[in-house]
Amino acid sequence: MSVRGPMAASTSAATGAPLLTLTGATVRFGDVTALRDIDLALARGERLALVGANGAGKTTLLRLLHGFVRHEGARTLHGAPPSVVMVFQRPFMLRLTVRANLRLALALRGVPGPERARRADAALARVGLAEVGARLATTLSGGQQQRLALARAWALRPDLLLLDEPTASLDPGAKRDVESLIERIADDGVTVVMSTHNLGQAKRLARRMAYLDAGRLLVDLPVERFFNDPLPEAAAHFLKGELVWH
Class level of CATH domain 3-92+142-149+157-245: alpha beta
The residues, ordered by sequence, that sit 6+ positions from 84 with a Cβ below 8 Å of its Cβ are 65, 66, 67, 158, 159, 160, 161, 162
For 199-244, the pLDDT digits (tens) are: 999 999 999 999 999 999 999 999 999 999 999 998 998 888 754 3
Regarding pTM above 0.75, the answer is yes
The predicted model gives 33-48 an average pLDDT of 97
For 59-101, the pLDDT digits (tens) are: 999 999 999 999 999 999 999 999 999 998 888 899 999 999 9
- CA–CA dist 98, 86 (Å, integer): 19
Evaluate whether 64 touches 75 at the Cβ level (below 8 Å): yes
Listed by start position, the domains of the chain span: 3-92+142-149+157-245
DSSP state of 30: T
Evaluate whether 156 touches 122 at the Cβ level (below 8 Å): no
Evaluate whether 90 touches 59 at the Cβ level (below 8 Å): no
Q: Return the CA Rg of the chain.
A: 18
